[in-house]
Amino acid sequence: MLKISNAVELASWEIEITQVRAQGPGGQNVNKVASAVHLRFDILHSSLPPFYKERLMALSDQRISKDGVVVIKAQNYRTLEQNRDDALERLKALIQEAVKTQKKRRPTKPSKSARRKRVDKKTQRGKVKALRGKVL
């Protein structure tokens, strides 16, 4: 059971976790022990509310396939349990990030006094530069 928010929870049957061998350099066990984790989560066939599904499918994240399957590979830790917890936390963070609503940007413009000051500074600078000409 993975709790996303107060109202939304994912059942353990919706998340498929498989053990795989970790990549990269390591000690004696890197070629023998399957301590990395592949987490697969099918968005379209999950019990998430429709709003969550739409927002997740609209994301342009490389971890989400065109079929709506989230694949997360966790291999940061040396133990299977820590990698499993890490993968679940990353899935939770992905879902929570997808449903956050962005603040609407309100366009602003500079005040009259700011515009006047800007023009005054430009003309002042122009006068200073005009004095740099050749003396006759």
Domain spanning 2-99 has what CATH number? 3.30.160.20
DSSP category for residue 119 = H
The values of phi and psi at residue 60, to 5°, are -105, 70
Q: What is the pLDDT of residue 5?
A: 81
DSSP per-residue codes, 2-23: EE-SSS-EE-GGGEEEEEEPPP
Strand partners, 70: 41, 64
DSSP state of 64: B
Give me the pLDDT at residue 37, please: 92
On whether the CB atoms of residues 57 and 43 are closer than 8 A, the answer is yes
In the chain, what are the domain boundaries?
A: 2-99
pLDDT tens per residue across all 136 residues of the chain: 888 887 888 888 988 999 888 877 766 666 777 888 999 999 888 888 888 888 888 888 888 888 889 999 998 888 889 999 999 999 999 988 888 888 899 999 999 999 999 999 999 999 999 989 887 7
- Model pLDDT, residue 128: 94
